[in-house]
Structure formats: C-alpha cells, structure tokens
Structure 1
Amino acid sequence: MKTTLKILIILTISFQMKAQEWQTPEIEGYGKIKYFEDAAELPDTSLTYKMIFNIDSEKEKEGVNVGLWRIARTLNILKAGNISNEKIDIVAVLHGEATYAILTDKEYKKRFQTQNPNMGLLRLLKENGVTVLVCGQAMASRNIEKEHLNLYVEMALSALTVLPNYQLKGYALIP
C-alpha cells in the first residue's frame, strides 16, 4: 500500500512538472514562460495593459537585448492569461547603450562585424502591436543616422520626453 501511494505521489508531481513546461505562446522563441494557473496573482482580463518599457542596457538574454526579451516575456504571460490583443498596449523606448539594437543589419554588421541579433524579435514585437521608439539624442551621440534605423523602430526626439509623455497618459513604467 505504501509503495503504491509513493508511486502515485511521484507520478502526480512529475505530471505537474511536465504540465508546466517552458513555452512561448505569443512571441515564438523569445521570452519563454511557465504559466501557473494556480498562482495567487494572474493577469486580469478586465484590465487594459498599457505599459512603457524603459530600455537602456546593452545586456543580452538568450542572444537578444534583455529589455526586448522582457517585452516578449510580458506578451507571452499576458496571452497565456487570456488577455486579448485589444487590451494590450505596449511601447518601448531604447536609449543609452541599448540604442545599437535598432540598427539595420547592414549598419550593425559594419559596426560590430555581425548581423543584428535583435531583428527577428523586433519584427515579432512589431507584428504583435508593440511600438518601439529610439531616443534621437542617443542616436546623435552615437553617430547613428535616421537611415540606419531598421524597419521596426521609430525615432523619438528624446527618451526624456517619451517616458513622461506615456506615464502622463496612464502607462505603467516598466524600468
């Protein structure tokens, strides 16, 4: 009897662990999540998720800019939580050392001798309604011309105006 109970407990635990595999339900290949339906706090389907991401680091996670990766994870979490596209409004502003993530493949290769690793993720974010802005002041200080921007990014005057503009419009700041 004790052996049967132990086997049942082990099978239950391994089934639960298996059921919580890493997944990317919305942004394929980026921002993987484990979704726990029994968590104390879950996405609220009655809310509209208006968020402004402040991305200023060149750090990478899984080969892409960590800030862009976090947006992918956020979208994956929200979609796993049944939040409809109409209730998701995400904006990102890149500045500082993150500025280089916005370069075209050609310009990135010229500067760093490799393709821009962020292009695929930027394309997926754009396809999923994310607005990605880059600080014009950061571009100027890094000798980046407007024609060096990839197709998935728009230039803003400054991150110093983008961040308060969106916060004053009710967007939650995600540092």
Structure 2
Amino acid sequence: MKNIFILLGALTISFQFNAQEWQTPAIEGYGQVKYYEEVAELPDTSLTYKMIFNIENEKEKEGVNVGLWKIARTLNLLKAGNVVHKKIDIVGVIHGEATYAILSNEEYNKRFKTQNPNLKLLKLLKENGVTIFVCGQAMASRKIKKEDMNAYTEMALSALTVLPHYQLKGYALIP
C-alpha cells in the first residue's frame, strides 16, 4: 500500500512538472509559453481578441524579430487558454527599424548576405490568420520596392494610418 502512495505521488509530481513545460500550441517553434491553470487571470474564452501590434524595433528574440515573436507568443497563450481561432483577430504593422523583416529571401540576401530569418514565422502567422502590413513610407525611405517584399506581408500607405484605423475599430494596441 505504501508503494502505491509513493507511485501516485511521483506520478502527480511528474504530471505537474510536465504540464508546465514550454510549449508552442499554435505557432510551432516560436513564442514558447508555459501554461498554468491555477492563476488569478486566464483568457476569457467568451471575448473576441482584436489586437494591433506595433512592430518598429529591429531587435531579435530567438533569431526572429521580437515583434513577430510577440505575436506568436500571444497566439500560443490564447490557444493554451482555450480561445478558439474564430475569436482571435490579430494585425501587425511593421515600420521603422523593423522594415527589413518584410524582404524576400533574395532581396534580404542581396542586402545582408544571409537568408531572411523571419520568413518561416511570417508564413506561420499568415497561415494562422494574422495580417501583417508594412508601412509604405518606411519602405520608401529604405529604398524597398513592392517587388522586394515577401509573400506574407501587405503594403499599407503608412503605419501612421494603419495604427489609428484599427484602434478606432476597437483593436487593442500592443506596443
């Protein structure tokens, strides 16, 4: 009987440990999360999560643009929190120092002598319903033509018009 209690205790501890492992339930390989059920606040599955991400920094996290990584993490957290796909509406707008993330592999390689590390993540985000815009003004100032873009982003007139447009439509701004 004592052995059964020891075994049950070990299994319980093992289960709790494994339940708190890093995971990527929505965007495989990016934006890892640890999910906890026993917290004071969890995503409200009755809400629709409408968010606009302002991506202006060239910093990287785990080899990709930190703003794109943040979108992946948000999707992973919402999925881990049982928010259904149809209740998630995420838009990102890339501008400023982050603008080069939208380049095709060929153009990125011409400019930086390496492959664009953001393409796989941009593809996964698009496949998961995320719309990524790039500021046309930022493209112009960096001498990026529309044909230099990758297939996973869309050109907008400017970030200065996209950001308030979505906020006025009820999207929460995520800096």
Structure 2 CA distance for aligned equivalents of residues 84 and 16 of structure 1: 25
Structure 2 CA distance for aligned equivalents of residues 129 and 146 of structure 1: 22
Amino acid paired to 1:49: Y
Q: How does 1:64-103 map to 2 (within 5 A)?
A: 64-103=64-103
Alpha-carbon displacement from aligned partner over 1:73-120 (angstroms, at most 9, x marks no partner): 000011111111110000000000000000000000000000000000
Structure 1: 5+ residue stretches without partners = none
Q: How does 1:10-89 map to 2 (within 5 A)?
A: 13=13, 15-89=15-89
Alpha-carbon displacement from aligned partner over 1:58-78 (angstroms, at most 9, x marks no partner): 000000000000000000011
Amino acid paired to 2:68: L
Aligned-residue offset at 1:39: 1.3
Aligned-residue offset at 1:11: 7.1
Q: Report the CA distance shift for 1:8/1:63 in structure 2 as closer, same or farther (over 3 A).
A: same
The aligned residue for residue 111 of structure 2 is 111
Structure 2 CA distance for aligned equivalents of residues 10 and 84 of structure 1: 34
| % identity of equivalent residues | 77
Count of matched residue positions in the alignment of Structure 1 and Structure 2: 171
Aligned-residue offset at 1:19: 2.0
Aligned-residue offset at 1:26: 0.7
Whether the 8 Å contact between 2:51 and 2:89 is mirrored in structure 1 is yes
Aligned-residue offset at 1:33: 0.3
The aligned residue for residue 169 of structure 1 is 169
Amino acid paired to 2:49: Y
Whether the 8 Å contact between 2:19 and 2:35 is mirrored in structure 1 is no
Q: Are residues 1:137 and 2:160 paired?
A: no
SS across alignment from 1:39: coil
SS across alignment from 1:86: helix
Aligned-residue offset at 1:45: 0.7
Amino acid paired to 1:88: I
SS across alignment from 1:125: helix
List, as ranges, runs of 4+ consecutive aligned residues in structure 1 with deviation greater than 6 Å. Answer: 5-11
Alpha-carbon displacement from aligned partner over 1:17-47 (angstroms, at most 9, x marks no partner): 3321000001000000000011111111100
Structure 2 CA distance for aligned equivalents of residues 9 and 61 of structure 1: 38
Aligned-residue offset at 1:12: 5.1
Structure 2: 5+ residue stretches without partners = none
Q: Are residues 1:120 and 2:99 paired?
A: no
Structure 2 CA distance for aligned equivalents of residues 128 and 82 of structure 1: 15
Whether the 8 Å contact between 2:27 and 2:75 is mirrored in structure 1 is yes
Alpha carbon RMSD of aligned pairs, Å?
A: 1.7
SS across alignment from 2:58: coil
